[in-house]
Structure 1
Amino acid sequence: MHEKTPDENRLDRIRAKIKDFPAAPGLYFMKDARDTVLYIGKAKNLRSRVASYFQRSSDLASSRGQWIVDMVSRTRTVDYLECESEIDAVLREARLIKDIHPPYNSQLTDDKSFPYLEITTQDDFPGVYITRNPKSDKSRLFGPFTTGRDLRAVLVLLQKIYKFRTCHLEIDAADAKRRFFRPCLLYSIKQCTAPCAARIDKDEYRKLIGDLTRFLNSKRSTVLADLRRKMNKASKDLDFERAAMYRDRVRLIERLDERGSVEDHVQPEVFAKDPTDALDRLRKILKADEPIRIIEGFDIAHISGTDTVASLVKFIDGRPFKSGYRRFKIKTVKGIDDYASMKEVITRRYRQAAKGEELLPDLILIDGGRGQLNAALAALHEIDAPVPLIIGLAKKHEEIFTPDREDPIRLAAHNPARKLLQYVRDEAHRFAQHYHHILRKKSLLDEK
């Protein structure tokens, strides 16, 4: 009787686990012996897709390349996340790859984002645009969408119906000179109401924007039913060219559902502002001798009230540096103790810096008040690490705590330095919460 090798036993265990995977869309996670994610993939059918990596008769080297063979040989277990749809899977896959940087994912690791449909509701005459960089946090956003090509085509179709503007002119409702302005071609072909030339008043224009917003929020059944009726009539009249046009319009409008939501599919890099002024102000506020270029932010999070994790985010010149993000599973602290957890993660993060083998950041930002800040300072002192600029940012009143001041620093809500610190703190919090939330309490934490 043939005695199975350790590798054959490994593959048998994985195959047995895959049998319980759902035949539904979702993401799968190849993990090594340390439970670290090696690869994230998406699938229409999780069970079928993942099983294809481990079939006895499959030749992965010729079908998928040596890179995949190496990854499969390192895989010790596979986990999955079932998603509501293929679109949900696409968006979640991109977010997790950007956050985790699995070593065997070569795509989606850059900072390219998915597009939104933006309505600039803060303007007198809101414009409607496709953008990867929204103009204002006051705009109404739909998306993100998985593709820009179909979105551009459906925008043209919607403009024919609602006649909104897509230009970037600054239009002031109180400007009487507008009536002398000559509208563009879109007005002549009845695809724009020409607010630039005072051909429509503010209230009437905002009504049509309201109609567009309701359409984007609805199931769009009325419009789709009308288009299908026209398509069927054209087909019965043997006007196949016209029928095809209506068919294409139906498909385009149905593509509006192939999108995520601003809340569930977060793209924080999309909303970053120019940080130059913020960094200059921060240097003056903290009385730093040198420019502040590298900031590392920490946050503590609890999973189901038991497991504790910590996140580290790194910003360089005021912008997220995703390759520097880390996640830690707290090992030495029993129960919920944010101070002890912060002390552990600071010790683990800067142990090499204490030995002179790694550089410290210009600023360490702790999510929390005096207690969390003191815990971080104690950790640095215990490992004999140099102490750089280090502050705590408490959420309740957005107060900045420093080691050398008894009273916290309070900055105005619109101060760019405060906004930058909030961005770092909120990104650390999002990164800590996001991983275990999106994986619905699956244990896929990097044991750094």
Structure 2
Amino acid sequence: MDRDPVPVFQPAIQLAKSRQGQLLSTAMSKDSLAREKVRQFPTTPGVYLMKDGVGRVLYVGKAVNLRSRASSYFTTAAEFDRRTADLVREIVDIDCIETDSEVDALLLEARLVKDIQPPFNQELKDDKTFPYLEIWTREEFPRVEFTRKPQSRGTKLYGPFTSAKKLRGAITALQKIFRFRTCSLDIDEQDERWRWFRPCLLASIKQCTAPCNLRITKEEYRRDIDRLKLFLDGKKDKLLEELREEMRVASQDLQFEKAARIRDQLKLLENLSLRGNLEDHVQPEVFFVDPQKGLAGLQKIFKLPAPPRRIEGVDIAHLSGDETVASLVQFIDGLPFKHGYKRFRIRGVEGIDDFASIREVVSRRLSRLAKDGESFPDILLIDGGIGQLNAGLEAMRAIGVTPPFTISLAKQNEEIYVPGEAEPRRLSRHSYALRLLQYIRDEAHRFAQHYHHLLRRKATFEE
């Protein structure tokens, strides 16, 4: 006789419901104090500490809204997350610490987890892939960076943090106040060539004091880093007191520019809580040129015997359509060497002819170097495409010199033309090698345009 099939999973569902009811009943009796306290929590940013029956801290968390975040643990939805349900079963008490801002809450959470080591934060403590804020204290101008691979020496670490995006937002928010660098440039204050280095966008928007351009002394920069450390260590009140005193002294000494900068720092610190959600402050990508990484990249990409030490860039500019000028810029170890910059008035070309102009400039430059017994550059970079590259190579053959490694960079698609290769190279826009070549190409263009404007102004006055 046939029987209707009985679902084999039905008893399991009934058992699960029965156990869930028992767990809810137990949890209600144990965590009633915690539930009641959560209802009294403020709606401001801060940190909450969940405790067991003997007062041991089980878990530390942060919140933009303490009441809302802590209440979420005692909802029906939380029961379906195994880890959360395990935590809630142990909770008997809960406390909170208010902070002035979400940044403060993020930092306080990291400090408490590190000091208390709560069992339900254990995976955060052990997992090395969680993000840290790292200050490279041994550098002349210490950089501050986000990292998942903290160094064991020469750095000061803060973290680990639970949210990578919020940490990035915090770094951006703090950079607007303390104006530290986040790049990996190896800056030497004694090397005057850094005075000619072009800072990235962060200097223009006043989020960095541009130590790469030596716009700030090592002592002044380190003072800003010390202030950042005070804030990160939770000594915000002490920091505010020091800044107010320093502003007062600067005003008395008639150092009004310094006093104004400190005033702006104070205002930003005091208004930090008004900055909104940290995730809204994640810094958009800012491209900067790292000379050493750029040189190493060029060596690898073009299979050079060593990183190029001297690179020269050539560009052409036209004056009112009837006169052509050219520029040559020189970079040593990836940095501009202004004493090596040259300007040329094209003499042997009538009208506008970029190829002929390139031939003349390359011929004059390399002939002079050969005559004076000087070495050729490791790389000669020509602004333009395959036509400009071939023009430069023709000039070298015409004067009978062994050409240095010569390439051209076309601006439209940032394509690199290499002798003997049918197709241009296309590097990632993130490539340090490409960024360095772009920097040299753009500097040659700027210098050519500057010479162009000088001659035009001179011609105007002579009329």
Larger radius of gyration: 2
Q: What's the TM-score bracket when you normalise by the shorter of the two chains? A: 0.3 to 0.5
TM-score of the two chains, using structure 2 as the length reference: 0.44
TM-score of the two chains, using structure 1 as the length reference: 0.46
1 or 2 for the larger relative contact order (CA 8 Å, sep ≥6)? 1
Q: Considering fraction of residues, name the structure with more helix.
A: 2
